């Protein structure tokens, strides 16, 4: 018999242990051309090598004699991990969050039949992140994406000593290679300062009466921000994404009819003019926000209730995506009624200098505030009428 057997080690004893897995006993150690554990020497120096003379594998059929012998062709399988054209197997290198990592598992000798591929990549990593003013989504790295010969991904959070493993299945056996990454991440801080809610003509961004949080001279919320890139990584960019999952504005006409615009799900705050990303102000990377809604003479009451999440994002040089560094959750609300030519602020609330938090979850959204329109609300009427001695409540709706 002359079966073929693959081994992934150049060490003689280890190779023999792999060979032994197919047989019940070791071979005669007195013959150095056989696979011996106690004596003999066998050195394999390159992938694809075939040993000569062939290793003799013997098996005791039960009578105490080594009567089942045959030649085994040993082919050494070598698995490596390449990044571009570079073999990075067994190496450790630095990278940074948001930068693309493209790896390929290679099985040598060339032409070796591989029946399965498997990557093990530590969290937190994603396949991709896409965002524009209308939508943002995360493509997860899982399942089939980890079972190809090549893989492309981005790390979102930092951490040293992240071992990536590629495993190839050849002839029913698994052969693996490892490489290690130290994933660096910028440090950042955000200090928020908030203003107040008012109903007046002092908004400053547009003339007339407004219900507003902050104004042009003293903004509603200011994000005082610093960011420091890790050593060896410079030239990255920053930006801001702001979303809302709770946004309601209502007004009542002089005739009593109510109108409302309200979000459904998380949407992007495109602000005046449909800006994307949120613009930095005169002192980048800082930004600010002062939301407001105009008060017209044909309405007698207006309310606003809004909650936001502001994300501070970073993107390194090269092929890269935006990744979050910090996040601030904040809110404001106000209720105002017209009093002749003036307006009274009946009630209000807002975040007071909210704290930021470290963030490694990408913001996602579907739609934007600029898409919302006011819709007339329906008024519910209830009447109680007698029916065969029983009071029956009838619900009807009208505009």
Q: What is the pLDDT of residues 12-36, one digit of tens each?
A: 444 444 444 443 334 443 333 334 3
Instruction: State the Cα–Cα distance between residues 162 and 98, nearest whole angstrom.
Output: 15
pLDDT in tens, 322-369: 999 999 999 999 999 999 999 999 999 999 999 999 999 999 999 999
Q: How far apart are CA 247 and CA 368, in angstroms?
A: 11
Q: Same domain for 320 and 256?
A: yes
Is 395 a member of any domain? no
Same domain, 245 and 364: yes
Is the whole-model pTM more than 0.75? yes
| pLDDT greater than 60 at residue 2 | no
User: Percentage of the chain with pLDDT > 70?
Assistant: 75
Comparing 37 with 115, the larger pLDDT belongs to: 115
| Cβ atoms of residues 366 and 135 within 8 Å | yes
Across residues 59-70, what is the average pLDDT? 49
Q: What is the rounded average pLDDT of the residues 89-104?
A: 98
- Name every residue whose Cβ is closer than 8 Å to that of residue 119 and which is 6 or more positions away in sequence: 103, 105, 146, 147, 148, 151, 164, 165, 166, 167
Whether residue 195 is predicted with pLDDT greater than 70 in this model: the reply is: yes
Q: Is residue 386 part of a domain?
A: no
Query: Within this chain, do residues 19 and 46 fall inside the same structural domain, yes or no?
Result: yes
Asked if residue 268 has pLDDT above 60, the reply is: yes
Interatomic CA distance for residues 201 and 198, integer angstroms: 9
Please identify, among 155, 184, 213, the residue that sits at the C-terminal boundary of a domain: 184
**Residue positions counted in the chain:** 399
Q: Is 385 helix (H, G, I), strand (E, B) or coil?
A: strand
With 80 as the cut, is the pLDDT of residue 397 above it? no
Are residues 339 and 213 located together in one domain of the fold? Answer: yes
Is there a domain that residue 392 lies in? no
In angstroms, how far is the first alpha carbon of the chain from the final one?
91
- Of the candidates 53, 76, 99, which is a domain's last residue? 76
83 and 70 belong to one structural domain = no
- pLDDT of the residue at 52: 42
Same structural domain, 215 and 273: yes
Do 317 and 218 fall within a single domain? yes
Tell me: do 288 and 163 sit in the same domain: no
pLDDT of residue 63: 55
Query: For the domain that residue 173 is a member of, what is the CATH number?
Result: 2.60.40.10
Q: pLDDT digits over 141-158, tens only? A: 999 999 999 999 999 999
Is residue 178 assigned to a domain? yes
296 and 272 within one domain: yes
Pair 40, 150 in one domain: no
Least confident range from 74-78, 119-123, 252-256, 353-357: namely 74-78
Residue 324, in any domain of the structure: yes
Structurally, the chain folds into a number of domains equal to 3
Please report the pLDDT score of residue 17 as a whole number. 45
* Domain contains 390: no
Q: Where in the sequence is the domain holding 45, given as residue range(s)?
A: 4-76
CA angle 357, 249, 134 (to 5 degrees): 60
Same structural domain for residues 195 and 295? Answer: yes
* Residue after which a domain boundary falls, among 184, 203, 218: 184
């Amino acid at each position: 018999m002359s079966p073929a057997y693959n081994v992934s080690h150049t060490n003689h004893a280890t190779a023999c242990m792999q060979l032994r897995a197919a047989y019940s006993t070791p071979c005669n150690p007195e013959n150095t051309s056989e696979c011996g554990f106690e004596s003999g020497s066998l050195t394999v120096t390159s992938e694809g090598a075939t040993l000569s003379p062939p290793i003799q594998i013997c098996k005791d059929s039960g009578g105490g004699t080594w009567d089942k012998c045959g030649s085994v062709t040993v082919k050494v399988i070598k698995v490596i991990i390449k990044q571009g054209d570079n073999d990075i197997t067994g190496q450790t290198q630095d990278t940074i969050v948001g930068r693309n990592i493209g790896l390929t598992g290679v099985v040598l000798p060339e032409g070796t039949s591989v029946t399965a591929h498997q990557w093990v990549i530590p969290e937190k990593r994603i396949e991709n992140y896409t965002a524009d003013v209308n939508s943002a989504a995360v493509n997860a790295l899982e399942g089939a994406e980890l079972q190809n010969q090549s893989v492309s991904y981005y790390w979102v959070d930092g951490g040293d000593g992240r071992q990536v493993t590629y495993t190839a299945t050849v002839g029913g056996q698994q052969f693996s290679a490892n490489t290690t990454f130290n994933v660096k991440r910028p440090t950042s801080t955000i200090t928020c300062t908030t203003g107040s809610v008012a109903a007046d003509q002092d908004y400053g961004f547009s003339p007339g009466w407004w219900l507003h949080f902050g104004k042009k001279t003293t903004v509603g919320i200011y994000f005082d921000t610093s960011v420091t890139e890790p050593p060896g990584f410079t030239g990255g960019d920053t930006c801001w994404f702001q979303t809302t999952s709770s946004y309601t504005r209502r007004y009542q006409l002089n005739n009593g009819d109510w109108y409302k615009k309200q979000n459904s799900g998380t949407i992007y705050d495109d602000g005046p003019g449909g800006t994307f990303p949120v613009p930095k102000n005169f002192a980048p990377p800082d930004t600010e926000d002062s939301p407001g809604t105009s008060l017209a003479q044909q309405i007698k009451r207006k309310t606003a209730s809004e909650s936001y999440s502001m994300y501070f994002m970073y993107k390194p040089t090269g092929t890269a995506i935006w990744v979050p560094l910090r996040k601030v959750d904040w809110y404001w609300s106000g209720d105002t009624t017209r009093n002749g030519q003036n307006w009274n602020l009946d009630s209000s609330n807002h975040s007071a200098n909210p704290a930021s938090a470290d963030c490694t979850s990408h913001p996602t959204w579907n739609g934007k505030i600029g898409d919302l329109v006011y819709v007339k609300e329906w008024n519910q009427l209830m009447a109680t009428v007698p029916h065969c001695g029983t009071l029956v409540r009838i619900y009807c709706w009208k505009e």
